[in-house]
Chain A
Amino acid sequence: MADSMFVSILSAAVSSGTPVLYAALGELVCERSGVLNLGVEGMMLVGAVSGFLTAVRTGSLAAGVLAALVAGGLMGLIHAFMTITLRVNQVVSGLALTLFGTGLSGYLGKSMIGVPLAVTFNQTPIPGLSGIPVIGTVLFKHDLLVYLTYIVVPFLWFYLYRTRPGLHLRSVGESPETADALGVNVFSIRYASVTAGGMLAGLGGAYLSLAYAPSWLENMTAGRGWIAVALVIFAVWDPFRAMLGAYLFGGIDALGFRIQVLGAKIPSFFLKMMPYVFTIAVLIIVTATASRRSSRAPEALGLPYERE
């Protein structure tokens, strides 16, 4: 009995961690190219609302996901234009986009509050794999968007560390002067990375509104975008560690929920606070103990690039 409870919490950790994971991967790509994106929260919200709206109107999940990708990508493009072309301070632009995304999604979603979604992402156990004891239930009894991360994470790792475009992406975040001098196009790589980052954040939002809790609620991301920003630091800008961090956050989130259901006499606000407190604690511990070299941010992170 305790066993199955444990398994179900782990399984919930994966699905609860997935939206944060998408957003964190997006932030990771963006930061690796040297651009800090504090607009993740706003991008997730815009992705969530446009995905939901589209899915309700068209009745198609694919169209919903596509809409979320496009909306997130557009938000990313705005951030790219502001920070790369206009060289606006990246923190300011990101914060502005979060405020903008929060307001815009609230406005767009006004008529959607309480509207049920006809189609949702259902659990689609992978035949064979889902039969494995424990692991099968934890990892392979989810929806398609969860399985997609199992491909995206290793691919992103391979892309960053084992391919030429990945090498160029990292070089742009470490030393744009060097990259530029060697003929690497700093501007197009940064534009592409920030836009891709926005798309992944939008997808994270859509996961919330189409799969995790199929509905629209104002501010439904509840700070997950900020957690994603923090996770990237915890993950030392590495996709696999980002996955681990996201599941850790998801696990605490799920645990709090279970404790509440079991009727423990802990205030629910306290339980809801737990994942955030925990994430901050982990961040502090990791940053304090890791050696300076290994927990290093991309050298040019936050710095606009201008040719001499």
Chain B
Amino acid sequence: MGTVDYAVEMRDITKRFPGVIASNHVNLAVRSGSIHALLGENGAGKSTLMNILTGLLRPDSGEICVRGERVALRSPASAIGLGIGMVHQHFRLVQTFTVAENITLGMSRPRFALDMAPIEREVAKFSSEYGLAVNPRAKIWQLSVGEQQRVEIIKMLYRGVDVLIMDEPTAVLTPQEVRELFETLRRMTADGKTIIFITHKLDEVMEISDRVTVLRAGQDVFSCDTGETTSRELASKMVGREIGQAPERPPAAIGGPVLEVRGLTAIGDRRTTVLDGIDLDVRAGEIHGIAGVAGNGQRELAEVITGLRRASSGFVRICGADMTNHTPRSIIEAGVSHIPEDRLGVGLAPNLNITDNAIMKRYRCGEMGRGPIVDAARARTWTDGLVERFNVKTPNLRTAVRLLSGGNSQRLLLARETSMEHRLVVAVHPTRGLDIGATEAVHSILLRERESGVGTLLISEDLEELIALCDRISVICEGRIMGTVDRDQLNLEEIGMMMAGVAAEAKGDGHLEAGA
């Protein structure tokens, strides 16, 4: 043999967008039958590179070889024709269709009358071959996120793909599902298929990949076999500097409860019970984390606490006062800050400028003007201080918030929410979509809050984040708290089981059973 057998080679790829170079002379060589991790922060150019490889974007210069032959990729269809397919982070599935219908969608044969039986048989074949258990007749909306991901993988296999790109595949999975996915990926490579695995999680790179390429600011800064590197080295390559130690975390001075939730139930947007008897406490000076797979009632829990959704039974007490189904305004006045999941939809008004957004919760209290008149100068001075203190990078205060980067808009939101008089912060996925720098900033703000004696309810999907910050972690699944673990008794396995819906051993404190 002699030479190495490459499934895909991208040479000297450059792609410019107005104002930025998304890919700057990037090289990537992926060996056949291997798992190649593509590591980088948000905005490092991973997506651009993969969009070029799947035919969505065309490079300004550079060449692509597939199995040693130079190719031109004009569309996703031409990429799939060459055996290159991608499983996107946000699944592209028709929710009301069956698994088999989704898999055959967009194919050209059979041309007219559709007989689903042979398609279902073939789906079942792929299922058993690679450990991708899924019922071909189930509707997508009936499936768990993990199962939906399997459908996406089968969809690609069905199209004859042998180079499979997985975009952040573990972000939405429980630890158990991650393990199953890894098992499937190993079976696929054993079968000669090639996987490109996009991620920013170092431990996954170390666990699953054979080789790793690090992208930073549009360039490939580092490539090596995974066995010859350490996660520490990869982290510094990814960020471009030695990353700081985990933030300092002095022992908490825990006080009395600022939030007490008992037997809370609520109805969701689909008129089903989304909160099913939640019991929860947050004490002053602690960060109480809520772990769980997305869509198990986290958003609704935050909404009920902040007055944006009605509780159908149970109660919410804030600093001892019953605040169940009070208006958002009176809950704000009771000292609740909210970092909502949808920061630009719920947290900020994207078309308004920074000053307007910053004073949004203050204009009523009298210090920003008199009566209905806002004192513009005072509002600006105050916002200026806030922007300075929280390191929000912006051309000026008149800039519309929608033009800020994710990290800067989140800093502004945190600045507004933590600068008012408050006893409790309800933060929902506060670092989702942020790069390492912005994430560190959010974490240090939350820890600063903790030190100053504020209670924080931190809802997150990122277990690493929860473990780094929280004093206690509760796991939510299907609208119920499956169990609560203290920081010093953390057991990842147990949390994973609870995320999948297996309850912890019954706890001592009184159970409030609520009828659905």
Contacts and interface: CB of A to CB of B under 8 A. Distances in A.
B80 to A, nearest CB: 8
Given A178-B93, A181-B88, A182-B105, 14 more contacts: A163-B112, A164-B110, A165-B112, A167-B101, A170-B94, A171-B94, A171-B105, A174-B94, A174-B95, A174-B97, A178-B102, A182-B106, A296-B96, A299-B95
Given A167-B105, A168-B105, A182-B106, A175 B93 contact: yes
Interface in A91-134: none
A263 interface: no
Given A162-B113, A164-B114, A184 B96 contact: no
B270 interface: yes
Nearest to A185: B106
30 contacts: A162-B113, A163-B112, A163-B114, A164-B107, A164-B111, A164-B114, A167-B97, A167-B114, A168-B105, A171-B97, A174-B94, A174-B95, A175-B93, A175-B94, A177-B92, A178-B92, A178-B94, A178-B102, A178-B105, A179-B94, A181-B92, A181-B106, A182-B92, A182-B106, A183-B75, A183-B76, A183-B77, A184-B106, A296-B96, A299-B95
A181 B88 CA distance: 11
A292 interface: yes
Interface in B85-120: 88, 92-97, 101-102, 104-107, 110-114
B271 interface: yes
A240 B110 CA distance: 26
A163 to B, nearest CB: 5
Nearest to B108: A164
A-B pairs, 4 with minimum CB distance? A182-B106, A178-B92, A175-B94, A183-B106
Contacts of B92: 175, 177-178, 181-182
A187 B110 CA distance: 22
A31 to B, nearest CB: 14
Contacts of B114: 162-164, 166-167
B96 A168 contact: no
Given A162-B113, A183-B77, A292-B270, A167 B95 contact: no
Interface residues of A, number: 21
Interface in B106-140: 106-107, 110-114
B96 A179 contact: no
Contacts of A182: 92, 105-106
A229 B67 CA distance: 54
B78 to A, nearest CB: 10
Interface in B380-399: none
B94 A164 contact: no
Q: Most B CB atoms within 10 A — which of A162, A174, A181, A299?
A: A181
A292 B272 CA distance: 10
Contacts of A165: 112
A77 to B, nearest CB: 25
Tell me the interface secondary structure of chain B in the complex.
loop
Contacts of A181: 76, 88, 92, 106
Interface residues of B, number: 23
Task: Classify the secondary structure of A's interface with B.
Answer: helix
Contact of B113 (A163, A171, A177, A299): A163
Nearest to B155: A182
Interface in A136-186: 162-168, 170-171, 174-175, 177-179, 181-184
Contact of B112 (A164, A170, A174, A183): A164
A174 B96 contact: yes
A168 to B, nearest CB: 7
Contacts of B105: 167-168, 171, 178-179, 182, 184
A179 B95 contact: no
B106 A168 contact: yes
B112 A299 contact: no
Contacts of A299: 95-96
A175 B101 CA distance: 13
A58 to B, nearest CB: 35
Contacts of B110: 164
A292 B271 contact: yes
Contacts of A166: 114
Nearest to B110: A164
Which of B96, B110, B113 has most A Cβ within 10 Å?
B96
A297 to B, nearest CB: 11
Contacts of B271: 292
A98 B57 CA distance: 42
A299 to B, nearest CB: 7
Nearest to A175: B94
Contacts of B106: 168, 179, 181-184
A165 to B, nearest CB: 7
Interface in A166-217: 166-168, 170-171, 174-175, 177-179, 181-184
A221 to B, nearest CB: 33
Nearest to B159: A182
Contacts of A179: 94, 105-106
B94 to A, nearest CB: 5
A178 B467 CA distance: 36
Contacts of B112: 163-165
A177 to B, nearest CB: 6
